[in-house]
């Protein structure tokens, strides 16, 4: 690691030692910026990295609500407004019991570079809460969302900070959050993205992350003379990103043979029937294990980590951070996997990523490969500002162009750094170049 980056990392470890996911993300980014930093010694004088790794603002708040039994529940809410260098803070809200400040900071930090890569004017932010929507009634989820927004509303706005979905935050939650924002502020503005189509949402946002992931993968594989056609594809998770990644992978000729949730995974050698997964997950909110009740030839295996032992050419981790470790990477490569695309944020551990790169696996890092979701969120913001509604085809065409551009920016920056084909370095450098230029132009702020 370059000496400036190493000094910043040592300081971060000292001051933020308990934020392990944030340190992991910062280490990965700063290490891969090293070659670029060597060529730009003036950045140290400007304190560029010191400012880059420190959120502009990290807000934490109490979220009290009353459950169906009349008991008072209290959760911890967060919004980390990391960087407004190139636009209003933009990034999702995660609702999961594991949420803490370190996780939200890692996600917000990644989001800065991801959003820069989209070519659209959006800064980086992320939020969330340790609330678990699983097993809660619709009314409980509504009361929670109303309480969460009763604090959050004062920190956000269509031109300041625009949250969206992430794990545990889907169309239902965005609707409740939007209703409460409107009620408190009286403003009918594009303050959230991923809204329902009848109240300002964009066509194509639901599909955008998964579709965008496959568009990115198609570009990356194309350069190596490969494609989805007739390839076995393994997709982890069965949420928003996973479902639409699986859909597009199949449309592009791949055969999706396995999907999962946090309890286990299913293998369907005939190709996963997505209508069953959608019904179970989007409509009934059930577990993936029930898939085999509808498709008796399929198998269910308890424990989600084993999914990476299912032989495939293409692996798309679309569940959560650090779900794919070195053992999993070894198993994938041993079974012939030649391409990995991160639909989730930081799903591969650092040693798994290093192993893939060492073995020449085509590797699409999350901040490039899954940027389609936030890109279409930014298109939703544009439509809200224009008070217009674009067709699905228009949004999808723009999404394809954006994913192509993200791939090209990453490929070009990797070459410039003398690391052709290393899209981890490429994505980090391409995103950082843009953000750092904007920071320098705006002075020490
Ligand atoms: P969803 O809540 O729709 O789905 C999440 C899926 O991942 C579920 O199948 C869930 O299983 C599984 N999962 C969640 N946490 C864990 C865990 N700790 N261990 C194992 N499995 C887990 O979320 P999304 O599909 O929206 O998000 C998936 C990933 O993609 C996240 O990393 C998110 O940050 C990232 N992402 C999302 C974008 C979006 O637009 N939604 C955009 C870019 C990235 P279970 O139901 O059992 O919890
Ligand atoms: O990680 C992500 O990029 C998201 N969860 C989507 C963020 C957004 O603002 O659409």
Question: CA end-to-end span of the chain, whole Å?
Answer: 26
Pocket lining: 237 vs ligand 1, CB cutoff 6 Å:
yes
Q: How far apart are CA 57 and CA 82, in angstroms?
A: 6
Instruction: Give the CA distances from residue 159 to residues 145, 373, 406, in Å, rounded to whole numbers and listed in that order.
Output: 22, 19, 24
**Ligand closest to CA 164:** 2
Is residue 222 classed exposed, middle or buried when 0-12, 13-18 and 19+ CB atoms within 10 A define those classes? exposed
Beta strand 255-260 with 314-317: parallel, antiparallel or unpaired? unpaired
Question: Ligand 2 centroid to 18 CA: how many Å?
Answer: 25
Q: How far apart are CA 387 and CA 406, in angstroms?
A: 28
235: left (phi over 0), alpha (psi -120 to 50) or beta: beta
pLDDT value at position 250? 98
Pocket lining: 27 vs ligand 1, CB cutoff 6 Å:
no
Beta strand 72-83 with 124-129: parallel, antiparallel or unpaired? antiparallel
Q: How far apart are CA 320 and CA 241, in angstroms?
A: 11
For the chain, the residue count is: 445
- Cβ–Cβ under 8 Å, residues 111 and 374: yes
Q: Which DSSP category does 199 fall into?
A: G
pLDDT value at position 402? 98
Reported as a single tens digit per residue, the pLDDT across 45-93 is: 999 999 999 999 999 999 999 999 999 999 999 999 999 999 999 999 9
Token digits for 239?
């949420």
Structural element, H or E, at residue 128 = strand 124-129
- Cβ–Cβ under 8 Å, residues 410 and 368: yes
φ, ψ of residue 314 to 5 degrees: the values are -125, 130
**Ligand closest to CA 381:** 2
pLDDT value at position 385? 97
- Cβ–Cβ under 8 Å, residues 322 and 350: no
High-pLDDT (> 70) share of the chain, %: 100
pLDDT value at position 123? 98
Pocket lining: 343 vs ligand 1, CB cutoff 6 Å:
yes
Pocket lining: 349 vs ligand 1, CB cutoff 6 Å:
no
Most informative mutation of 111, 112, 205 for ligand 2 (most atoms within 8 A of CB): 111
Q: How many helices (H) and strands (E) does the chain have?
A: 18, 12
Is residue 275 classed exposed, middle or buried when 0-12, 13-18 and 19+ CB atoms within 10 A define those classes? exposed
pLDDT value at position 161? 98
Pocket lining: 91 vs ligand 1, CB cutoff 6 Å:
no
Q: Which DSSP category does 421 fall into?
A: T
Q: Looking at the CA of residue 238, tell me the nearest atom of ligand 1.
A: 9
Q: Looking at the CA of residue 321, tell me the nearest atom of ligand 1.
A: 32
- 161: closest CA among 102, 83, 100? 83
Token digits for 302?
């308890």
Most informative mutation of 262, 281, 308 for ligand 1 (most atoms within 8 A of CB): 262
Q: How far apart are CA 329 and CA 350, in angstroms?
A: 11
Identify the band that residue 249 occupies on the pLDDT scale cut at 50, 70 and 90.
Answer: very high
Q: Looking at the CA of residue 114, tell me the nearest atom of ligand 2.
A: 3
Whole-number average pLDDT of the chain: 98
Pocket lining: 167 vs ligand 1, CB cutoff 6 Å:
yes
Reported as a single tens digit per residue, the pLDDT across 148-205 is: 999 999 999 999 999 999 999 999 999 999 999 999 999 999 999 999 999 999 999 9
Pocket lining: 239 vs ligand 1, CB cutoff 6 Å:
yes
Beta strand 89-95 with 124-129: parallel, antiparallel or unpaired? parallel
Token digits for 416?
């410039």
Q: Looking at the CA of residue 374, tell me the nearest atom of ligand 2.
A: 10
Q: Where are the beta strands (DSSP E) in 12-67?
A: 57-66
Reported as a single tens digit per residue, the pLDDT across 379-410 is: 999 999 999 999 999 999 999 999 999 999 99
Question: Ligand 2 centroid to 292 CA: how many Å?
Answer: 31
Identify the band that residue 141 occupies on the pLDDT scale cut at 50, 70 and 90.
Answer: very high
Q: How far apart are CA 165 and CA 265, in angstroms?
A: 24
Q: Looking at the CA of residue 169, tell me the nearest atom of ligand 1.
A: 2
What pTM was estimated for this model as a whole? 0.98
Question: Ligand 2 centroid to 313 CA: how many Å?
Answer: 27
Identify the band that residue 17 occupies on the pLDDT scale cut at 50, 70 and 90.
Answer: very high
Residue 130 CB coordination number (10 Å)? 17
Q: How far apart are CA 126 and CA 81, in angstroms?
A: 7
Question: Ligand 2 centroid to 373 CA: how many Å?
Answer: 6
Question: Ligand 2 centroid to 293 CA: how many Å?
Answer: 33
Structural element, H or E, at residue 355 = helix 350-358
Pocket lining: 348 vs ligand 1, CB cutoff 6 Å:
no
Question: Ligand 2 centroid to 12 CA: how many Å?
Answer: 25
Q: Which residues of 173-182 are buried (b: 16+ CB within 10 A; e: fewer)?
A: bbbbbbebbb
The active-site residue out of 90, 114, 126, 281 is 126
Which residue lies with its CA nearest to atom 4 of ligand 2?
Answer: 92
Token digits for 327?
């053992």
- 423: closest CA among 54, 114, 37, 10? 114
Q: How far apart are CA 132 and CA 427, in angstroms?
A: 32
Distance, C-alpha 121 to centroid of its chain: 18
Q: Looking at the CA of residue 376, tell me the nearest atom of ligand 2.
A: 10
Pocket lining: 383 vs ligand 1, CB cutoff 6 Å:
no
Most informative mutation of 178, 209, 371 for ligand 2 (most atoms within 8 A of CB): 209
Reported as a single tens digit per residue, the pLDDT across 297-322 is: 999 999 999 999 999 999 999 999 99
Residues framing ligand 2 (Cβ under 6 A): 90-92, 114, 164, 166, 193, 345, 373-374, 377
Residue 136 annotated to the active site:
no
- Cβ–Cβ under 8 Å, residues 266 and 292: yes
- 133: closest CA among 106, 89, 170? 170
């Amino acid at each position: 690691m370059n000496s400036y980056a190493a000094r910043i990392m040592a300081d971060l470890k000292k001051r933020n030692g308990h934020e392990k996911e944030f340190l992991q993300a910062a280490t990965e980014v700063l290490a891969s910026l090293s070659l670029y930093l060597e060529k730009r010694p003036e950045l140290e004088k400007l304190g560029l990295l010191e400012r880059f790794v420190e959120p502009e603002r990290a807000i934490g708040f109490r979220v009290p609500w009353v459950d169906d039994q009349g008991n008072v529940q209290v959760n911890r809410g967060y919004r980390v407004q990391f960087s407004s260098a190139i636009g209003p803070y933009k990034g999702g809200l995660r609702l999961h019991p594991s949420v803490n400040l370190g996780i939200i900071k890692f996600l917000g930090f990644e989001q800065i570079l991801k959003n820069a890569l989209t070519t659209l004017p959006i800064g980086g932010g992320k939020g969330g809460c340790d609330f678990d929507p699983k097993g809660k009634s619709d009314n409980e989820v509504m009361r929670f969302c109303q309480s969460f927004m009763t604090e959050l509303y004062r920190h956000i706005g269509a031109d300041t900070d625009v949250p969206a979905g992430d794990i545990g935050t889907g169309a239902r939650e965005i609707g409740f959050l939007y209703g409460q924002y409107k009620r408190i502020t009286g403003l009918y503005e594009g303050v959230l993205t991923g809204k329902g189509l009848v109240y300002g949402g964009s066509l194509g946002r639901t599909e955008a992350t998964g579709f965008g992931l496959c568009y990115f993968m198609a570009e990356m594989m194309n350069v190596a003379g490969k494609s989805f056609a007739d390839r076995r594809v393994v997709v982890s998770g069965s949420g928003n990103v996973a479902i639409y990644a699986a859909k597009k992978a199949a449309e592009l000729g791949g055969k999706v043979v396995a999907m999962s949730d946090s309890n286990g995974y299913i293998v369907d050698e005939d190709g996963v029937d997505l209508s069953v997964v959608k019904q179970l997950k989007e409509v009934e909110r059930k577990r993936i294990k029930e898939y085999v009740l509808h498709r008796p030839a399929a198998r269910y295996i308890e424990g989600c980590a084993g999914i990476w032992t299912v032989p495939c050419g293409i692996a798309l981790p679309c569940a959560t951070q650090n779900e794919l470790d070195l053992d999993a990477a070894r198993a994938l490569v041993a079974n012939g996997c030649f391409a990995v695309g991160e639909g989730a944020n930081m799903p591969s551990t650092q040693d798994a990523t290093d192993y893939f790169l060492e073995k020449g696996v085509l590797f699409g890092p999350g901040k490039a490969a899954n940027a389609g979701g936030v890109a279409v969120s930014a298109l939703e913001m544009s439509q809200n500002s224009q008070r217009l509604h674009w067709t699905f085809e228009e949004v999808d065409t723009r999404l394809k162009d954006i994913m192509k551009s993200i791939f090209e920016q990453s490929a070009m920056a990797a070459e410039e750094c003398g690391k052709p084909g290393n899209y981890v370095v490429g994505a980090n450098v391409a995103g950082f170049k843009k953000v750092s230029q904007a920071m320098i132009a705006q002075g020490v702020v």
